[in-house]
Amino acid sequence: MNTVSGQKNKASNINTKRAKLEAKYKEQNFKRLKTIDKIAIKSAADPNAQFDDLLRVISDDGVLYQAMGNINKKKGSLTQGPATDPTTADASSAKLIEKLSKDLRNKTFRFNPIRRVYMDKSGKSPVTEEQKAQLLKLHKQGKVTMAQIKELKARPLGISSFPDKIVQEAMRMVLTAIYEPEFSRTNTNFGFRPGKGCQDAIHQIQQKAKAMDYAIEGDIKGAFDNVNHKKMIEILGRKIKDQCFLRLVMGGLKCGVMFLNYRQDSDLGTTQGSVVSPLLYNIYFHEFDKYITTEFTQLVHNINETENRKDRPINKLYRFYGGKRARLKLPAMIENYKKLYKEQGTTDDTILLSQEIKKTRKIANELEKKQKSLKSRTKSRQTIRFWYTRYADDWLLLSNADYPRMVEWKSLFTKWISEKLQLAVSEEKTKITEIRKGDRAKFLGFSITRAKGTKLINMGLYKKTRTDILSRIKYTRQKLTDEKIYKIRSVNTSVVVTWDRERVINRLIQNNMAKKYNNKLRSTSKISWTNLGEQEIVQRYNYIIRGYMNYYAPVTDRPLDLGLLYYILKYSCVHTLAHKRKTTLTKIFTKFGRDVKIKYKTKIQTKDKVTGNEITNITEKEVQLLTWKDCKKIMTEILFATRKKTKRKKTRLNIHHEYHY
């Protein structure tokens, strides 16, 4: 009994010690994480807040441990950096954190050159041996420019050493705490921000950019590679007063790149592949976001005031025809005729009045026809509005201004970006699109245009319920009162968002999943996958189909339009299977069915618990290509989830107004 009680006391003592150690660890190592939270609170409360002593924050063990944990979660944590320090996440240890902390505190930490890797234009596969040889030749000759890299159709990526990644992540945590509240104030940028994505940018356009006529599609030429380092430090210096921290940032920008054994200095740009690079670019280009929301907004406001523009300027000719029709007093004439006919019947007076009504109705109909051919509002005197959205180096500005003014604004933006940020706007990709005439602006893989013509709106109290969330025309209507439901003519101000066919189809052609024969699109086999198992081919196509549905379904206004994309991918899968079996599509459908169901056997090896011998079990499994019905189910679930999320946001907003206003 004494032995048992002694063991219990020993276990309880161990648990007590463990609890004390955990409390001590949390108090010591996570104290600075609370400091980062305080920085974020201060930045959110005061737009003009300035920050100092940041090097002390990132040199803390707790912050560095958290940064190391964040890096270890990422896929590239085991990728080797430059030859000067090829360590990876395998080198994670307390000693490494202590060394980094000491070097940062003593201001002796230096970033290693970044290992440069070249990928093809898609960014998914390495360059060919021929391209690699040409790039090596350029590096031997001296400095390699982005123009030379683009000529070879390559994309440079940078891989930092593991210790450098930890320090970069610690810097990113602090910079995010300072600048995320700043980004939230304008809320125009959705790239590389926590909790933001492409769908959020498109959803904002759908909600805010109503009745727009033109769009400026903006693109920065070599955005990440042409960031001016001095300008970058100048922008950071407006909020950060810690010169040691700024020198560390500059050291990360100037560390250089290394391709094989050839080193090149970094005079411009933030290296793609660096942990902190996207955030630094966001901070850099946020200056343009602020310009749009302040100076440019004031410029548009001044134009509206100077030109005496109004939200709803009435078209005088439209009103003239309406007034002329009203002065004919046709309804009163008809009422008089009805009374007179009821009292006298068919007489000379009623016949004359009837003929007069016919003439008046003819004139009224002509006036109505002329009135309806006009717009009720004068476009030239309407208030100019605009909406601006950005994702990384791509931005879109939509406005109801006329074409000459849009051309003027485009040149204004180009000049401002060139003078203030030392960046060049791509003339090829930056263009003005007339979305009101059906032309489509391209943004983040989506196609944006304006709904055509006018629409009829049902007026009256009724409840409208969609029977199919994917269809725009399938719904039921229930009257809530005895009042008559009538229709009125209205201008359709909606923005229509669909998938960018040109971009997606070109990508499918590049990936050998589709081809154009005599300007007609046809699915083709992906030959590089024919060496895979049949079940793996189907699974890979399922991943691609599901990925496209997940990306486009939350915000597209024409979900069923994705049927074409599904058709191309389905028949590409069937073509690939036919190519593998060296047979025809008909025979593939005969063998696997129209839904392409493939049965296969897998071996599962287990150990016998008694003898320890390996036992091989053969099980039969089935994989099926996603059907269009499955795709519609996926899209329906996504749309319902998106609508619930939107309703929750609206409810929170209403509660906020109820309590604070």
**46-78 confidence digits (pLDDT tens):** 989 999 989 998 988 888 888 888 888 877 777
Phi, psi values for residue 655, rounded to 5°: -60, -40
Q: How is residue 182 written in tokens? A: 């700043």
CA angle in degrees (0–180, nearest 5) for 416-180-157: 70
Q: How is residue 389 written in tokens? A: 């959205």
**Residues β-bridged to residue 602:** 619
Measured CA to CA, the distance from residue 339 to residue 342 in angstroms comes to 5
Q: Is 30 exposed, middle or buried (0-12, 13-18, 19+ CB in 10 A)?
A: middle
Measured CA to CA, the distance from residue 532 to residue 92 in angstroms comes to 37
- Per residue in 234-265, pLDDT (tens digit) is 999 999 999 999 999 998 888 888 777 777 77
**Nearest to 578, CA basis, from 621, 527, 511:** 527
Measured CA to CA, the distance from residue 62 to residue 101 in angstroms comes to 10
Q: 51 with 236: CB under 8 angstroms?
A: no
Instruction: Report pLDDT for 655.
Output: 28
Q: How is residue 242 written in tokens? A: 């810690």
Instruction: Report pLDDT for 651.
Output: 38
DSSP assignment, residue 342?
Answer: H
Instruction: Report pLDDT for 654.
Output: 32
DSSP assignment, residue 273?
Answer: T
Predicted TM-score (pTM) of this structure: 0.81
Distances (CA, A) of 321 to 316, 367, 509, 625: 9, 6, 55, 61
Q: How many angstroms separate the most distant Cα atoms in the chain?
A: 128
Which residue type does 494 have?
A: S
Which residue type does 542 have?
A: N
Instruction: Report pLDDT for 645.
Output: 62
CA angle in degrees (0–180, nearest 5) for 374-375-380: 115
Residues of the chain with pLDDT under 70: 1-32, 83, 122-124, 453-492, 609-610, 643-661
Give the pairing type, strands 514-517 and 154-159. unpaired
Phi, psi values for residue 315, rounded to 5°: -75, 115
**Residues β-bridged to residue 620:** 601
Measured from the Cβ of residue 390, the count of other Cβ atoms closer than 10 Å reads 23
Phi, psi values for residue 616, rounded to 5°: -105, 120
Residue 356: strand, helix, or coil: helix
Instruction: Report pLDDT for 302.
Output: 93
- What is the architecture of the domain spanning 193-224+275-310+383-496? 2-Layer Sandwich (3.30)
